[in-house]
Every structure is written in C-alpha cells, then in structure tokens.
Amino acid sequence: MSPVELRELVPRVLSVLVRRGADFATAEDAVQEALIRALSAWEADPPSDPEGWLITVSWRAFLDMARADTARRDREDRLGSEPPTGSVPSADDTLRLYFLCAHPDLTPSSAVALTLRAVGGLTTRQIAQAYLVPESTMAQRISRAKRIVGGVGFDRPGDVGTVMRVLYLVFNEGYSGAVDLAAEAIRLARQLATVADDPEVDGLLALMLLHHARRRSRTRPDGGIVPLAEQDRSRWDTGLIAEGVAILQAALARDRLGEYQVQAAIAALHADAPRFEDTDWVQILEWYDELLRFADTPITRLNRAVAVGEADGAPAGLAALAEVEEGIPRRDAVAAHLHERNGDLELAARLYAAAARNAPNLAERDHQTREAARLNQLLRTRDHKS
C-alpha cells in the first residue's frame, strides 16, 4: 500500500473514532500517531486489513491519550476500553470532516494545515516542510486550530464554499519540495467531489486538473517561468485535459454556474488551442465577463484586460487596463506586455523593469528582468542600425 493509499483511509478512520465517542482533537492526534506507526511498520509487514489495523491502533492510541489525561478520567470510564460496535464511516462523515477543518472561525492558514493533516493524512513534519516553517510552528498552528473547532459539533452542517477556498489555496501554493501540494489538493478535491453534490466542486476539480495538465511546460529546467504563449503544448498532459473537460461539461450541464466553473471554462479554452495563435480569445473574454458577475475583483479585471488585448487588439486592452486600479500585483507586467504589442518598446521596457521590482516571487522577478533585458537589447540594436 502506497503512502497515498494509506492517507486515503485517514478521514474514514478518524470518523470511526469520533462516531465511537472520541473527541475530535484527541482522535485526530491518535490517528496521526497510528499513521506514523503505519508508515514505518507497514513497509516490512503490511497488514491484510489496513483500515482495520488503523482503526485498532488509532483507538488504542486514543485510549492511551485519554488515560494519560487525568482530567478526562470520567469520560474514560464512560467510554470503557471496548469499542462500541456498529460504527461504519459514511460519505457524510467525510464531508463533515471537511466542513470542520475549513470552519469559518479558522484563519486560512490554520484551515489549510488542519485539512492537510486531518483529511489529507499528512504528518505535521510534511506540512511544515511544504510551507517552509519549523515543525514546532506547524504543530502549534494545528493544535490551536483544533482547540478552535473543538467545541463545534461534528454533526453541524457546514459550508462547502469554505472547503473549496481551502483546497484552492493548497493548490495554488503549488510545489515546494517534499510534498506535492498541487497533487494533494487534486486528491482532496476528487474525494470532496464524491461526497458533495455541488457542480462548483466539480468546477474546482476541473480547474485544478486543467492547470495541472500544463505544469510540465510551465517552468524551465532552472525553475524559470515559461509564459503561456511560449509553452511547448506537446508537453501538456492530454489525459488530464480530457478528464478536466469532461468533468466541467457535466458540471455546466447542471446549469448552476459559479466562479470555479467559469475559471475552469477559461482554462479549458486555453487547453483546447493547439497553438497560442489558435486561442479563442473572444469566447474567453465572454467567460471573463461572466466571471465579473461572480467575482468582481481587480485581479479578474486585470486578467480580463489581457483577454481584451488579445481579442480586440492592444489599444482596447490598454483601455480595459485603465479601469484596473494601480498597485495590483502583475499590473505592470500586463501593462508592459500590452504596450509592447502596441509598439511602444521604450515604455514597455521601463514597465517590465518596474514589474521585476514589484514581483511577488523570485521566478517572476527573474522573468520580468529577462523581458526588460530582451526589449532593451532590441532597442540598442535598433538605435545602432538607425
């Protein structure tokens, strides 16, 4: 059994413990304990019934923890040491677990950490490595989060919107080393889609799959960014694209549109173009107009200005950009691109340099510096000739 298959069992096992009367916070610690034991023990000696093994070991770990905590002695007596029978986890339990871990009382970073541990089955160390913080910091973040949701009843209804935002955050964090957060977000979105009846969840899953399909072509071997127009489309994962498109089409057919479905539709139109020149920008622009209805944010307007520039020409794009407030991340980069296409290379070069200064990450900064360098080189050659 692979570590991923093992982690698939975590929400079910946790649900069983909670159904048996264990409090969520201690049960979650107990499952984590069992998981860490399984990771080392199973390689040499895999059990015939992995879920049963995990439930037994988690339950014992829970009893040990409850016993060690003298303040909880009363409850320990009440629970006894024999597990009650008849507690079978259901799809609803998994969904409730998602709701609890993405509870609106949690900060986004806490909800992300708790979801990755209690639903995703990642260890605290793995989550800490993925987010580049000390393990003790991540452990504190998770135990604080558990204290906050500790008083929330397991059977309380939740909002699938908060869960989707958490998974979107995990996906967007991408890949930062030991744990592939994008792949993990996709796995959790898949699982969520099987237990939640909401076309927006399918839209989110399709969005992730369609972006993940382009991953290999998005970065150079040295980590540099390859913009969409220059990506080697033969390296896109056609299997993931086909799956994403199929999921999206089924979701759209249910006629309950939302922002994730719209974003997925835009990603699908990009995926559908064999070459950048073949991109159906007119249709993409229509989807951006649709997206504004759901999420009228400066980022949406900025991305829409790019689509306007491609669909109706650089001057129209610049006019659309004028409506986007200053100071938005990547605004200078978009302005530079539109001015370059409009033939104003001097201004474009200055804007690329500004975009490099304001870049939110190193890869983006290097990319914008390279763009500025490219235009300045072009200008030097041109001046030389004239």
Partner 1 sequence: MAKYLLLKHYRGAPAAVKDVPMDQWTPDEVDAHVRFMHDWVARLEGTGEFVDAQALSPEGVWVRSDSGGRPPVTDGPFAETKDLIAGWMVIDVDSYERAIELAGELSAAPGAGGEPIHEWLEVRPFLAAPSTITE
Residues that bind partner 1 (CB under 8 A): 222-224, 349, 352-353, 356-360, 362, 365-366, 369-370, 372-374, 376-377
Q: Which of 57, 21, 65, 16 is nearest to 40 (CA)?
A: 57
Nearer to partner 1, 342 or 369 (CB): 369
The nearest distance, CB 295 to partner 1, in angstroms, is 26
CB of 114 to partner 1, least distance (A): 27
Residue number, 285 or 349, with CB nearest to partner 1: 349
The minimum distance between CB 369 and partner 1, in angstroms, equals 5
Residues 348, 367: Cα–Cα separation, whole Å: 14
Least Å distance, CB 144 to partner 1, is 24
Asked if 13 and 34 touch (Cβ cutoff 8 Å), the reply is yes
| Residue 292 CB partners (closer than 8 Å, separation 6+) | 300, 301, 304
Smallest distance, partner 1 to C-beta of residue 31, A: 33
Side-chain half-sphere CA neighbours of 54 within 13 A? 28
Select 254 or 357, whichever has its Cβ closest to partner 1.
357
Which DSSP symbol is given to 229?
A: G
Alpha-carbon distance 386 to 381, whole Å? 9
Name which of 90 and 176 has its Cβ closer to partner 1: 176
CB of 304 to partner 1, least distance (A): 25
The angle subtended at Cα 282 by Cα 280 and Cα 286, nearest 5°, is 120
**What is the nearest approach in angstroms of partner 1 to the Cβ of residue 376?**
6
- Residue (151 or 221) nearer to partner 1, CB: 221
Instruction: List all residues 6 or more positions away from 262 whose beta carbon is below 8 Å from its beta carbon.
Output: 203, 287, 290, 291, 294
Closest CA to 126 of 10, 268, 284, 294: 10
Angle, helices 135-150/91-101, rounded to nearest 10 degrees = 110
The residue among 216 and 357 lying less far from partner 1, judged by its C-beta, is: 357
Query: Tokens representing 220?
Result: 């150079």
Report the C-alpha gap between 362 and 224 in whole angstroms: 9
The 3-state secondary structure of 338-377 reads HHHHCCCHHHHHHHHHHHHHHCCCHHHHHHHHHHHHHHHH
Give yes or no for a contact between 225 and 367, defined as CB atoms under 8 angstroms apart: yes
In the complex with partner 1, the residue whose CB is nearer, 6 or 356, is 356
In the bound state with partner 1, the residue whose beta carbon lies nearer, of 187 and 330, is 330
CB of 329 to partner 1, least distance (A): 11
| Tokens found for residue 57 | 């070991």
Token pair 């989707």 in the structure block, residue: 164
